[in-house]
Amino acid sequence: MAKRLNLSEFKKRSDLDSALVVIGHVALVLGPLFLASWIGVSIYWLGSWLWVGLLMNGLLNLMHECAHYHVFHKRRGSDLLGHWLLGPLLLANFDSYRERHWKHHLHLGVSGDTKDAYLVDIRGTGLARLMLKCVTLRAAFEKFQVQVEVKSVEAPPSRVWIGRTLLVQGALLGILMLVAGPIAGRTVWPWGFLTATLAYALVYLYGLASLTVYAATLRAIAEHQIEAGGISETGRAALRNFRCGPVAWLIFGAYGFAEHATHHREPAIPYYHLSWVTSKLAAVDSELQPRHRYLTEIMTLAGIRTPDKSPKVN
């Protein structure tokens, strides 16, 4: 589709502003993990698991911005953030992710589309089966296996990104031990070590491997799955923009994902301009109207809610 916008008008914000957003977001997501280490084993850990697991999907969205080189003025800044923080925190091969994501843009809904999560059938018992697959870690294992086995000209060998991941994960566990040990008034060995290790394994790793994978899959389904009886101009994929409150934004819609159809239309525009761009484009293209909400769209696709009558997919 022809461009309607002068892309040179959408300047990137200052690197300082972007750095503050990144620092604040990472602190918001991981804060309960450090608090869990400080408090020690308690019922609070259940809430920490939910918080960290669900909100880590927002950091996955931020990694997507890095893949598009939108976070900092120079591409190297986005590369450093993706390679040395977000990729390792998410146990992801950033280079492979970027390559697969660009193929998703180029081949959306047709042969060559590298994303298939949105094709998962959640009708009937499908939503519960997806949750079971995630909490038993089967879905996470499949995703990790794809990353390890992927062969790419652009991405470095697996040992490179795995090495970075081990370095960052080791640093994270070390900080947790300091928080659970001396800072909390416990001896480092064995109580600080045991508390930190349990928090790291149960709150962080299990939250990432279960709830983050579940949230990311539901987000993809909401964005791209075609409703029953619907049709799409992009093959097997729909495109939707969303209205969402602060909680849904933090879990699903952060960094321009709520304006997902607009992002696919104009992938060169940073996320903080997409809301304005959506309002302008939607005035002449009703398909870009943010009529949907994440949870109601998921319920519609699951068959829990009656779909809106429409001649085509938005």
> Has residue 42 been placed in a domain?
yes
Residue in this structure with the two tokens 């461009």, named with its chain if needed: 3
What residues make up the domain containing 47?
17-240
pLDDT of residue 152: 58
Compute CA 62 distance to the chain's CA centroid, rounded to the nearest angstrom: 7
Q: Which amino acid is at 208?
A: L
> Has residue 195 been placed in a domain?
yes
> Has residue 212 been placed in a domain?
yes
**Which residues, listed in sequence order, are joined to residue 234 by a DSSP beta bridge?**
237
> Has residue 209 been placed in a domain?
yes
> Has residue 290 been placed in a domain?
no
Q: How many domains are there within the chain?
A: 1
Q: Which residues contact residue 236 at a Cβ distance below 8 angstroms, ignoring those fewer than 6 apart?
A: 109, 110, 113, 119, 226
Tell me if 278 sits within 8 A of 241, measured CB to CB.
yes
Q: pLDDT tens digits for the chain (314 residues)?
A: 445 578 788 999 999 999 999 999 999 999 999 999 999 999 999 999 999 999 999 999 999 999 999 999 999 999 999 999 999 999 999 999 999 999 999 999 999 999 999 999 999 999 999 999 999 999 999 988 777 666 555 566 678 999 999 999 999 999 999 999 999 999 999 999 999 999 999 999 999 999 999 999 999 999 999 998 888 888 999 999 999 999 999 999 999 999 999 999 999 999 999 999 999 999 999 989 999 999 999 999 999 988 765 544 44
> Has residue 3 been placed in a domain?
no
Q: How distant, in Å, are the alpha carbons of 26, 36, 144, 185, 197 from that of 182?
A: 23, 15, 34, 5, 15
pLDDT of residue 147: 72
Residue in this structure with the two tokens 């120079």, named with its chain if needed: 74
Q: In a 3-state reduction of DSSP, which class is residue 209? A: helix
Name which of 59, 62, 74 is nearest 12 in CA terms. 74
pLDDT of residue 1: 43
